[in-house]
Structure 1
Amino acid sequence: MRALTVETGRNGSVRTTEVPEPDVETGDLLVEGLALGVCGTDKEIARGEYGSAPPGREPLVLGHESLGRVRHAPDGCGFSPGDLVVGVVRRPDPVPCGACARGEFDMCRNGRYTERGIKDLDGYGSELWRVEPDYAVALDPALEQVGVLMEPTTIVAKAWEQVERVGARAWFEPRRVLVTGAGPIELLAAMLGVQRGLDVHVLDRVTEGPKPGLVTDLGATYHHDPADEVAARLEPDVVIEATGAGQVVFDTMAHTAAYGVMCLTGVSTAGRHLSVDAGGVNRELVLENDVVLGSVNANLRHYRQAADALAKADRDWLGRLITRRVPLSRAAEAFTSDSGDVKVVITIDNGNG
C-alpha cells in the first residue's frame, strides 16, 4: 500500500512510497485512510528538524491529523465497519508517570510518551492504518468532508478547558476574547469562543485572502493593527495565543483585563531575543491576579469535546478552512506554502489520485 514517509533528520525526504499493509493479527481497528491534515509540526519533520521513527527502522510514516473509515472492527469493540473515525495522536509512557496513569497523557511528566507520526510511532498517512479501539474516536458521519479538522480542534478544546479551570479558582465570567493569529488552530479557537457566547476578536497581519471573511462570517471581529494597540483597546479577559511570536506574546500579555487568563498554544523559535520590562510584567501578573499558561496536545476527553464542537459548527464554514486539497500521489505539494492557504489537506485517494 502507499504511504507518506520521511527519513527523520533529513531535509527534503518526504515521499509517497510503498510500505507493508498493517498486521491483520493485532486485534485493532483496520481503517481506510480518507484524509490527512498538514501542520507546522509535519513541516518541521519534513525539514529534518524534529521527529523520530519507530526504534530500529526508518522511514517514519507521517501524519497525525487523521480521518478514516473503519473497514474491520473486532467484535464488542464499540465500532462497526463504515464508522468515521480519527486516531488519537499520543500514547502514554510505559512507566507510567502519574499523569499518564490517570489518562492525562497530554500532561506527561517524564517525556517517555510516543506520538503517531511524530515520535517513535508510525502515523496515519497511509491507505490503510491500524488503531487501538481505545485510541479511536467516532465522528458524526455528516463530517466526512471536514472531519480531518478534528485533531487541531482538540488542541483548542484543551486550551479552553484549561482557561476555564484556571478561571474557576474565583468568580469568572469572561466576556471578551482575543485570539492572536488566524491560521486553522486560531480560527478553531475563535469558533469555540463563539460557541461559548463570547465576544471574540481575532488578530492577524493579513488584510487580503480568506481569513478576514472567515472571522467575520463566524460572528467575530477581525483586526490587523499591532498587537499592543489591539490588546490595549480590547483589554481581553481571555487570550488564546497560537502564533508563538515572542513580541505578540508579551505585547498582548501586558494588556489583559484584571484576572486575565492567557493560554499559549504556539511554540516559539528558540534564540530570538526581546527587550522586556520584566518588572512591569511581574507587577501586572501579581497585582491583577493574571495567569499565563502553556498548553499542548490533547487527551481522550478533549477529542470528545472536539467532536461535539465540530458537530455543532457550520459545516460550510468549516469547509472553507480547508483551502487546498492535494492527493496522496502529489503529497509533496502540501509541504509548500501558498499565500491563500489556511489549511492544506492530503486526500488518501487509494490509488485514484
Structure 2
Amino acid sequence: MRALTVRPHVRNSLEVRDLPEPVPEEGQVLVDGLAVGVCGTDREIVDGLYGWAPPGRDRLVLGHESLGRVRQAPAGSGFSAGDLVVGVVRRPDPVPCGACGRGEFDMCRNGQYTERGIKEIDGYGSQTWCVETAYAVKLDARLERVGVLLEPASVVAKAWEQVERIGGRSWFDPERVLVTGAGPIGTLAALLGVQRGLEVHVLDRVTEGPKPSLIEALGATYHTEDADEVMRSLVPDIVIEATGAAEVVFAALSGNARYGIVCLTGVSPVGRKLNVEASSINREIVLENDAVVGSVNANLRHYQQAAEALAQADLAWLERLITRRVPLDRADEAFTAHNDDMKVVLTLDLWGDPT
C-alpha cells in the first residue's frame, strides 16, 4: 500500500512510500482509506517544526483528519464491511491521569497522550489502516464526499460544549455569536452556531474567494472591518476565536457582552509582541463576570456530536468547504498553499475521483 510519510523535525522530508498492509489486531477494524484532510498541524510537521515518530522509528505516517470504509470488522463490534468510518486522533496516556481515565483524554493533565499522525502513532494517511473499535466513529453513508470534515468539526463541537457548560454556571440565554476567522474551523463553528438558532457573525480579512459566500449561504453575516469596530457594534454574547491573531484575541477579550464567553481555538505564533493595557482587560473580565477558555482536540463524545451536526447540514454546502482534492501520489501539491484554499484533501483510494 502507499502511505504519506515524513521524518519529524526534518524539513522537506515528505515522501509517499510503499509500506506493508497492516494486519488488524484483536478488537480492531480494517479500513480502506478514502481521504485525509490537510491542516496547519500537518504543514508544521512537514516544515520540521512539530511531530514525533513512533518509538524506534524515524518516519511517521501523516494524517489525522481521516475517512475510510470498513473492509473487515470483529463480530459483534457494531461495525460491518462497507461502513463509512473516521478514526479518533488522540489516545489516553498510559498512566492514566484522572481525565484520561474517565474518557476525557482531550483534557490530559500530564501530556503523555499519543496522537495518530502527530505524536508517536502512525496516522491515517495510507491506503489501508486499522483502528480500535473504541476509537472508530461510524458516519451516515451520505457523508462519503465530506466525512473527512469530521475531525475539525469535532474540535468545534468540543468548543461549543465548553461554551455551553461555562454558560450553565448561571442563567445564560445567548443571542449573538461572533466567530473570528473563516477558515475550516471558523466556518464549521459558524455552522454549529446556526444549528443552535443563534445570530451568527463571522469576521475575516478576506474579501474575495469562497469564504464570504460560504458564510452568507449559512444565513450568517460576514464582516471584514477592524476587530475592535466589529466588537463595538455587535457586543457578542459568545466569541469563538479561530485566528490566533493577538490583536483579534484581545479585541474579543475586551469587547464582548457582560457575562460573555470567549473560547480560544486558534494557536498564536510564538515570538510576536503586542502592547496591551492588561489592567483594563482584567478589570472588564472581573467586573462583567466574563469567562475565557482555551479549547483544543476532542474526545469520542465530541466526534459523535460532530457526526450528528454534519448529518444535519446541507451536503452541497459542506462540499464547498473542500476546495481541492489531490491524489496521494501528488501529495506535495496539497502542501503548497493556494490563495482560495479552504480545506485541502488527499484522496487515498486507488480508484477515487480527485475532482
SS at match of 2:330: helix
Q: 1:135 maps to what in 2?
A: 135
- How much has 1:300 moved relative to structure 2? 0.5
- Tell me the amino acid that sits aligned with residue 49 of structure 1: L
Q: 2:36 maps to what in 1?
A: 36
- Tell me the amino acid that sits aligned with residue 95 of structure 2: V
CA distance, structure 1, for counterparts of residue 93 and residue 201 of structure 2: 38
- Tell me the amino acid that sits aligned with residue 38 of structure 1: V
CA distance, structure 2, for counterparts of residue 116 and residue 196 of structure 1: 31
CA distance, structure 1, for counterparts of residue 290 and residue 252 of structure 2: 12
Q: 2:304 maps to what in 1?
A: 304
CA distance, structure 2, for counterparts of residue 291 and residue 24 of structure 1: 45
SS at match of 2:34: strand
SS at match of 2:233: helix
- How much has 1:65 moved relative to structure 2? 0.1
Q: 1:63 maps to what in 2?
A: 63
- How much has 1:349 moved relative to structure 2? 2.8
- How much has 1:232 moved relative to structure 2? 0.9
SS at match of 2:255: coil
Dislocated runs of 4+, deviation >6 Å = none
* Deviation by residue 1:199-229 (Cα, 9 ceiling, x = unmatched): 0000000111110000000110000011111
| 1:163 is aligned to 2:163 | yes
CA distance, structure 2, for counterparts of residue 13 and residue 282 of structure 1: 45
Report the count of equivalent residues.
Answer: 353
Q: 1:115 maps to what in 2?
A: 115
- How much has 1:351 moved relative to structure 2? 6.7
Q: 1:285 maps to what in 2?
A: 285
SS at match of 1:189: helix
SS at match of 1:163: helix
Q: 2:334 maps to what in 1?
A: 334
Q: Is the 8 A contact 2:32 2:349 kept in 1?
A: no
CA distance, structure 2, for counterparts of residue 165 and residue 71 of structure 1: 39
- How much has 1:58 moved relative to structure 2? 2.0
CA distance, structure 2, for counterparts of residue 242 and residue 206 of structure 1: 14
Q: 2:349 maps to what in 1?
A: 349
TM-score by length of 2: 0.98
Q: 1:272 maps to what in 2?
A: 272
- How much has 1:26 moved relative to structure 2? 4.4
Q: Is the 8 A contact 2:27 2:133 kept in 1?
A: no
- 1:144-223 counterparts in 2 under 5 A? 144-223=144-223
State the percentage of identical aligned residues.
Answer: 69
Q: Tell me, which stretches of 5 or more residues in structure 1 are unaligned?
A: none
CA distance, structure 1, for counterparts of residue 110 and residue 139 of structure 2: 32
- How much has 1:19 moved relative to structure 2? 1.1
Q: 2:250 maps to what in 1?
A: 250
CA distance, structure 2, for counterparts of residue 71 and residue 24 of structure 1: 11
- How much has 1:253 moved relative to structure 2? 1.4
SS at match of 1:123: coil
CA distance, structure 1, for counterparts of residue 50 and residue 26 of structure 2: 29
CA distance, structure 2, for counterparts of residue 183 and residue 24 of structure 1: 36
- Tell me the amino acid that sits aligned with residue 55 of structure 2: P
| 1:5 is aligned to 2:8 | no
Query: Please, what is the CA RMSD of the aligned residues?
Result: 0.9
CA distance, structure 1, for counterparts of residue 161 and residue 235 of structure 2: 21
- How much has 1:350 moved relative to structure 2? 2.3
SS at match of 2:217: helix
| 1:47 is aligned to 2:47 | yes
SS at match of 2:52: coil
SS at match of 1:118: coil
Deviates more, 1:269-278 or 1:109-118: 269-278
Q: 2:232 maps to what in 1?
A: 232
CA distance, structure 2, for counterparts of residue 145 and residue 9 of structure 1: 33
CA distance, structure 2, for counterparts of residue 342 and residue 25 of structure 1: 36
Deviates more, 1:15-24 or 1:182-191: 15-24
CA distance, structure 2, for counterparts of residue 66 and residue 277 of structure 1: 43
Deviates more, 1:20-29 or 1:275-284: 20-29
SS at match of 2:350: coil
TM-score by length of 1: 0.99
- Tell me the amino acid that sits aligned with residue 86 of structure 2: V
* Deviation by residue 1:319-349 (Cα, 9 ceiling, x = unmatched): 0000000000101110010001111000003
* Deviation by residue 1:168-207 (Cα, 9 ceiling, x = unmatched): 0000000000000000110000000000000000000011
- Tell me the amino acid that sits aligned with residue 87 of structure 1: G
- Tell me the amino acid that sits aligned with residue 226 of structure 1: D
CA distance, structure 2, for counterparts of residue 269 and residue 340 of structure 1: 22
SS at match of 1:55: coil
Q: 2:124 maps to what in 1?
A: 124
SS at match of 1:37: strand
Q: 2:295 maps to what in 1?
A: 295
- Tell me the amino acid that sits aligned with residue 129 of structure 1: W
SS at match of 1:254: helix
